[in-house]
A and B are shown apart, each in its own frame.
Chain A
Amino acid sequence: MRLEPVADPGLGRSLGYPAAALGATVAFAMALALVAGADPFAVLGLMVKGAAGSKFALLETLNRATPLIFTGLAVAVAFRAKLWNIGAEAQLYAGAIVTVLLGTGALGLPWPLLLPVSALFAAVAGALVLLGPATLKLRFGVDEVVTTLLFNFIMLLFVSYLLEGPMKDPAGMGWPKSEKLIAEARLPRIMEGLRLHWGFLLALIAALGVWVVQTRTTLGYEMRAVGLNPEAARFAGLPVGRILIKTALLSGGLAALAGWSEVAGLKGSLTLDLSPGFGYAGIIVAMLALLNPLGVVVSALFVAGVFVGADSMSRAIGVPTYIADALTAAALLFMVLALLLARVRVRRG
């Protein structure tokens, strides 16, 4: 068996295969439901209803998509320059810690000032977290996949220490959680009475901003060049090291904004379960979007919908929520396969 590249995939191939991948994902979900002993159509129906069947459900999905957009963008930016940032989770928590530090009364500013300041410092914290691995990579050739991944565990244990020690809420009845943010440090709701907060709109703006950076700015051109062919970039005289550092700062900052918006917009305080793996899910989001920042919004909505829908379905008929993890992973695998098959033709002999 041989794979031969197709010169011009055409509209049929380039749309048909991803559509087939979506179909395969749905079929896979139904098969999983069967294994769990439930009616596949009921499971599917409940998931769709739970993700988008009501105004409440829809807003819940948008809220859940918010951190995923930020971490997805962080990963997309870094991967585009072939900087393998697996540590969005750590950067997210760094942002969350700073948000709590600044937002629990340490800074007495009105909200139009306090929020931008806390966002800025959160982003700087996340950027600094990724600066370490990026510098190690550039100076000593240390593989950033390993360092960024391990940083996630370091950061989680550090947060655990903070919540049991210096940052523990004295009024928290012994629970490992931080104090609540003051009102000026909270992101307002988009509309009174709705659970959706401004973080979602900011995430959309961030996606647009990253897209503009990548397509319109000198830095974006440099980042794409370094990602596609570092050897040619270096030969042409691009400052490859400096470009990778800038990429790391941007990526870490974006991931930290996920932590900032979760704390300031939704949770109001820092706990150890602030992120159910948003950093890792960001990798799936970015890959599904083919690293396109605008695509990240779409794929974040899809992944968020699967998780929110699965939660709701699980409450109704008891099929475990793990189905959501299996589904997003399967969606990614099918999509990667589909995109490969759209570009090649399988031949015998």
Chain B
Amino acid sequence: MGMEAQARVVLRLSGITKRFGPLVANDAITFDLHEGEVIALLGENGAGKTTLMNILFGHYSADEGAVELFGAPLPPGNPRAALAAGVGMVHQHFTLADNLTVMENITLGTEPLWRLGRGRAAARGRVEDLSRDFGLAVHPDARVGSLTVGERQRVEILKALYRDARILILDEPTAVLTPQEADDLFATLGKAVARGMSVIFISHKLHEVMAISSRVLVLRHGRLVGEVRTAETDRHQLATMMVGAEVAELEVRPHAPGPVLMGLRGVSTPARGNATGLRGVTLELRAGQITGLAGVSGNGQATLAALVGGLEMPETGEMDLAGAPVEGWSPRLAVDAGVARIPEDRHKTGTIADFTLTENAILESYGDARFSRRGWMDWRAAEGFAQDIIATYDVRCPGPATRIRLLSGGNMQKLILGRVLERGPKIILANQPVRGLDIGAVTYVHQRLLRARDEGAAVLLISEDLDEVMALSDVIHVISEGRLSPAFARGDMTPAGLGVWMAGHGFEEAGHAA
């Protein structure tokens, strides 16, 4: 490969294979990373990206194959070795101590047992230099717990730079950022690369991969199925490589909205623990319309979902169902009122892992007369219901008696879809409905939501993925610190425009206008 061949190879993986029981997570993976190069590691969930990085980082040891860093072999299974050799990793879930300051987090584990004031001042000077040189603005004395998600990510990157990382691995770094923050991150990476840093960028977002990388490696089912120069490929080709088949384009037909099925007027709720409360939220969910909720995670989405789903009541403000004020409100009442709820965490809230598909399928409806009479379960009817869902919603599984923990995320989500859609819901709460799913399942879930909309359901789509919200929604609200932006109609807003609201701007002006 012409140009890269001239740059020094900083990382070489040769024939890396890792098995978990019968599953081959990584199958003979070989590639080089050169100095000053950004490679994107593209693949669906479960393709083996994270396993590969964990091997590189010493969290797992490979069954076969070797890792070479800067020309020297890396001893397997030793996280310190990779760190010492200059590999820094920014995980999807940050590894910071909330109760410590930015400085303390950055220097944690690098300082000698005893230390003089001068050392501390020097360390601080270095952090300030790094933060200026790479455009990573964050106050060194701020407590990490008080920082925004974007700022925390900067701390993670500073931490790696402070430790003289020459190779930076970023695992889905933009999942938690506003579009502007993502642009800032790309600018930072650009500066780092200009100084000879090498970057591995793990993602499944094609436009980012196209924007930042010079080479793309595609993983599928643990194997390296493609290696292309970014300049010589396009999004369509990458998607096809990643999935292994042609990807169907989502077709959104325009649809006229109907009456308001659920309304919130000036609803506020108190903050609970880590969950942001709502501040004067006004929202209308209309029949035959998908209302998208965009925003950086942790800005009140969870509370709004809890409110619609029956787990939370407004503290002040009004909530009504098709015009009738809601008095009592609970999950049971929400289900009975025709609210279909697709929860954010399908493993912890959506399903019971050790229950069978049948038992999970009737979780919301086991009390119906068709499944339960005078306290006795009709398991035959329940199994028939599960069979129907499995057939209608294409749930791939050995059978209804399988424990649901053995299913993939996509199949689990299809069962949940079936469970709630089979009740013919009026309102659908879809909270991160495709998080962690592979492209096939994503398309399926989106088509189902669109079909439900076309059939007259009011859909509230909550997602941190702005692309998803923009692709599906008829109207979009942005949520920030518990406040809701005005509604923007499809086509009225650009990612940059929504990003301004996601960053918390515009609410005051809108408040004054109202």
Using CB atoms and an 8 Å cutoff, list the residues of chain A in contact with chain B: 4-7, 216-222, 224-225, 228-229, 231-239, 345, 349
Contact = CB atoms under 8 A, between A and B. Distances in A.
A225 B21 contact: no
A169 B68 CA distance: 86
Interface string B144-180: 0000000000000000000000000000000000000
Interface of B: 20-22, 61, 76-77, 309-311, 330-332, 334-335, 341, 343, 348-355, 359, 363-364, 366-367, 372, 375-377, 379
Nearest to B334: A237
Determine the main DSSP class of B at the interface with A.
loop
Contacts of A221: 359, 366, 377
B175 to A, nearest CB: 24
Contact of B76 (A7, A216, A349): A349
6 contacts: A216-B377, A220-B377, A225-B352, A231-B349, A236-B335, A349-B76
A232 B349 contact: yes
Contact of A229 (B343, B348, B376): B348
Contact of A235 (B343, B366, B376, B379): B343
A233 B352 contact: yes
Q: Which 5 A-B pairs have the closest CB atoms?
A: A237-B332, A237-B331, A236-B363, A229-B352, A218-B372
A232 B363 contact: yes
A234 B22 CA distance: 36
Contact of B367 (A4, A7, A218, A228): A218
Nearest to B372: A218
A3 to B, nearest CB: 12
Given A237-B310, A237-B334, 14 more contacts: A7-B21, A7-B22, A217-B375, A217-B376, A218-B367, A218-B376, A220-B377, A221-B377, A224-B355, A231-B349, A232-B348, A237-B330, A345-B21, A349-B61
A4 B366 contact: no
Interface-centre pick from A4, A220, A237 (highest chain B CB count, 10 A): A237
A235 B332 contact: no
B332 A228 contact: no
Given A349-B61, A349-B76, A235 B309 contact: yes
Interface-centre pick from B309, B355, B363, B372 (highest chain A CB count, 10 A): B363
A231 B332 CA distance: 14
A218 B377 contact: yes
Contact of A4 (B21, B311, B332, B351): B21
Contact of B375 (A6, A219, A233): A219
A238 B349 CA distance: 12
Nearest to A226: B352
Contact of B350 (A216, A232, A239): A232
A237 B329 CA distance: 11
Contacts of A218: 366-367, 372, 375-377
Contact of B353 (A4, A220, A228, A234): A228
B217 to A, nearest CB: 27
Nearest to B310: A237
A229 B353 contact: yes
Nearest to B348: A231
Contacts of A231: 348-349
A35 B331 CA distance: 60
Contacts of A222: 366
B377 A228 contact: no
Contact of B349 (A5, A220, A225, A235): A235
A237 B364 contact: yes
Contacts of A219: 375
A345 B20 CA distance: 11
Contacts of A232: 348-352, 363
A129 to B, nearest CB: 25
Nearest to B371: A218
B317 to A, nearest CB: 23
Contacts of A234: 311, 331
A56 to B, nearest CB: 43
Contact of B355 (A6, A228, A239): A228
Contacts of B61: 349
A181 to B, nearest CB: 35
A228 B354 contact: yes
A180 to B, nearest CB: 40
Contacts of B348: 229, 231-232
Contacts of B350: 232, 235
A167 B77 CA distance: 69
Contacts of A225: 352, 355, 359, 363
A221 B368 CA distance: 14
Given A228-B352, A349-B61, A235 B22 contact: no
B19 to A, nearest CB: 10
A231 B375 CA distance: 23
A139 B355 CA distance: 28
A245 to B, nearest CB: 16
Contacts of A237: 310, 330-332, 334-335, 364
Contact of B331 (A6, A220, A224, A236): A236
Contacts of A216: 376-377, 379
Nearest to B335: A237
Nearest to A239: B332
Nearest to A213: B375
A4 B310 contact: no
Nearest to A345: B21
Contacts of A236: 331, 335, 363-364
A218 to B, nearest CB: 5
Contacts of A229: 348, 352-353
B351 to A, nearest CB: 6
Contact of A217 (B21, B310, B311, B377): B377
B311 A235 contact: yes
A234 B375 CA distance: 19
Nearest to B374: A218
A254 to B, nearest CB: 18
Nearest to A6: B21
A13 to B, nearest CB: 13
Contacts of B353: 228-229
A294 to B, nearest CB: 18
